[in-house]
Amino acid sequence: MNNEATSISSEEKILTGDRATGSLHLGHYVGSLSRRIDLQHQYHQTILIADLQGLTDNGFNPTKVSSNILNLMADYLAVGIDPTKTTICLQSALPALSELTMYYSNLVSVSRLQRNPTVKNEIANKEFGTSIPTGFLTYPISQAADITAFKGTLIPVGDDQLPMIEQTNEIVRKINTIADKKVLVECKPLLSKTPRLPSPDGKNKMSKSMNNCIFLGASEKEITKAVKGMYTDANHLRVDDPGQIEGNIAFTYLDAFHPDADLVQSLKDHYQRGGLGDSKVKAVLNDCLQELLAPIRSQRELFLSDKAELLATLKAGTVSAHEETQQVLLDVKGLFGLNLFEI
Ligand code: ATP
Ligand code: MG
């Protein structure tokens, strides 16, 4: 990962966010967090705790969002996000983000929002029927506000976020056309080698809202249980049978998390030849996940034991983000001729 990061222009500004809808999981770790841990050493990086976006499908259940803000803080710090290098801030405390959303909303049609494939898929999964919350349908606009408010140019995300980045760039181009100059800059996604970690049953992407996660703070028992229940090859009935790798989630996880690619390849060869049982593959995976998560779990508990400190760190990051985002808001208001005075 470091090698790729060094080929990135030193001018890049890194911006990512996570919805405050639950603690972070292995999908976050491998899809985005591990990138952020590397990138913070070389680039200006901001992480936004997207509590307002979390409310877009939890408006009637706000505690789910408010109670998870500090869990996210603890997760970040436990995996090695360093608040002296990365600005960690809170969406709801940054009014510029909501105001920019209002300006951008006038530039995006409802039909364009309805065509966003990720939103479409999420709407179907959440079974909103005809009662789609307006905020949910329009969250790609609020993400455009988040990215542009920080002048984000490089966005380390999972592949579910590609349509959001496309929509952000459409808005950027519209704003620049209205202004007849480059007020905002376009951004690019940065995908990891595992841009979509599936759930252990292989049915969906691992998602906080889908109750299918191995959390970064999972206990030893929870990890073992999830690995034991992991989908492998349904036709691999006897140890001696040749097994299939494709679609075999235990191997997907080994590819994503095991540090020894040669060992994983030899396991794959053996499995495909026949003679390697699922339980042996899962034992290797279990060891590797236990080793990865044990230190994160204990660090996380340590950070959560001082919530006042977590809150103070978040507040400090948010204060510095406030000034940065207000400036972009002023520029955008200006191009609409609506910066008559400040109060
Ligand atoms: P929710 O179910 O509330 O939407 P989530 O688990 O999808 O939660 P988000 O907060 O929406 O998590 O996503 C934060 C970041 O993590 C995004 O960049 C997203 O692409 C990435 N991400 C989330 N889940 C995965 C996954 N399973 N694999 C790879 N990246 C992921
Ligand atoms: Mg999501």
Asked if residue 129 has pLDDT above 90, the reply is no
Positive or negative: CA dihedral 336, 337, 340, 342: positive
Are the CB atoms for 330 and 105 separated by under 8 Å? no
Give the rounded percent of residues in the chain with a pLDDT score beyond 70. 98
At residue 320, the pLDDT reads 96
Give the rounded percent of residues in the chain with a pLDDT score beyond 90. 94
Atom of ligand 1 nearest to the CA of 19: 10
Asked if residue 36 has pLDDT above 70, the reply is yes
At residue 9, the pLDDT reads 75
At residue 317, the pLDDT reads 98
Q: Which H or E run includes 5?
A: helix 2-6
Residue minimizing CA distance to atom 18 of ligand 1: 157
User: 161 CB under 6 A from ligand 1?
Assistant: yes
Mean pLDDT for 132-157 is 98
Asked if residue 11 has pLDDT above 80, the reply is yes
Confidence of residue 1 (pLDDT cuts 50, 70, 90): very low
- 3-state SS, residue 289: helix
| Planar angle of CA 226, 228, 234, nearest 5 degrees | 110
Across the strands, what pairs with 154? 14, 188
Confidence of residue 152 (pLDDT cuts 50, 70, 90): very high
Atom of ligand 1 nearest to the CA of 210: 2
Across the strands, what pairs with 18? 49
> How many angstroms does the Cα of residue 57 sit away from the middle of ligand 1?
15
120, 199, 267, 286, 329 from 235: Cα distances, Å:
33, 20, 18, 22, 57
> How many angstroms does the Cα of residue 50 sit away from the middle of ligand 1?
12
What are the sequence ranges of the domains in the chain?
Answer: 3-197+307-335, 220-302
* Cα–Cα distance for residue pair 326/321, rounded to 1 Å: 9
> How many angstroms does the Cα of residue 20 sit away from the middle of ligand 1?
11
What Rg, from alpha-carbon coordinates, does the chain have?
Answer: 21
Across the strands, what pairs with 2? none
Residue among 289, 243, 301, 329 at smallest CA distance from 70:
301
At residue 4, the pLDDT reads 47
> How many angstroms does the Cα of residue 207 sit away from the middle of ligand 2?
6
At residue 3, the pLDDT reads 40
Sequence-distant (6+) residues with CB within 8 A of 285 are 227, 230, 250, 253, 254, 257, 258
Asked if residue 8 has pLDDT above 90, the reply is no
Residue among 142, 144, 138, 141 at smallest CA distance from 122:
138
At residue 7, the pLDDT reads 62
Sequence-distant (6+) residues with CB within 8 A of 119 are 113, 136, 137, 139, 140, 163
User: 21 CB under 6 A from ligand 1?
Assistant: yes
User: 209 CB under 6 A from ligand 1?
Assistant: yes
Asked if residue 228 has pLDDT above 60, the reply is yes
At residue 148, the pLDDT reads 98
* Cα–Cα distance for residue pair 330/332, rounded to 1 Å: 5
Residue 5 identity (one-letter amino acid)? A
At residue 207, the pLDDT reads 96
User: 200 CB under 6 A from ligand 1?
Assistant: no
User: 196 CB under 6 A from ligand 1?
Assistant: yes
Residue minimizing CA distance to atom 16 of ligand 1: 28
CA end-to-end distance (rounded Å), the chain: 46
Residue minimizing CA distance to atom 19 of ligand 1: 158
> How many angstroms does the Cα of residue 291 sit away from the middle of ligand 2?
26
* Whole-number average pLDDT of the chain: 96
Which tens digits make up the pLDDT trace of 50-70? 999 999 999 999 999 999 999
The alpha carbon of residue 87 and the mean position of all alpha carbons in its chain are separated, in whole angstroms, by 16
The secondary structure of the chain in percent helix, strand, coil, rounded to multiples of 5, reads 55, 10, 35
Mean pLDDT for 115-143 is 95
Q: Give the sheet arrangement for strand 154-156, strand by strand.
A: 86-90, 44-50, 13-19, 154-156, 188-190
Backbone angles phi, psi at 170, to 5 degrees: -60, -45
Mean pLDDT for 221-235 is 97
User: 156 CB under 6 A from ligand 1?
Assistant: no
| Superfamily name and number for 220-302 | Tyrosyl-Transfer RNA Synthetase (1.10.240.10)
Atom of ligand 1 nearest to the CA of 30: 29
Are the CB atoms for 244 and 235 separated by under 8 Å? yes
> How many angstroms does the Cα of residue 236 sit away from the middle of ligand 2?
33
The alpha carbon of residue 2 and the mean position of all alpha carbons in its chain are separated, in whole angstroms, by 19
Are the CB atoms for 142 and 97 separated by under 8 Å? yes
CATH class, range 3-197+307-335? alpha beta
Residue minimizing CA distance to atom 24 of ligand 1: 27
* Token pair 């990512």 in the structure block, residue: 16
DSSP string, 257-321: H-S-HHHHHHHHHHHHHS---HHHHHHHHHHHHHHHHHHHHHHHHHHHT-HHHHHHHHHHHHHHH
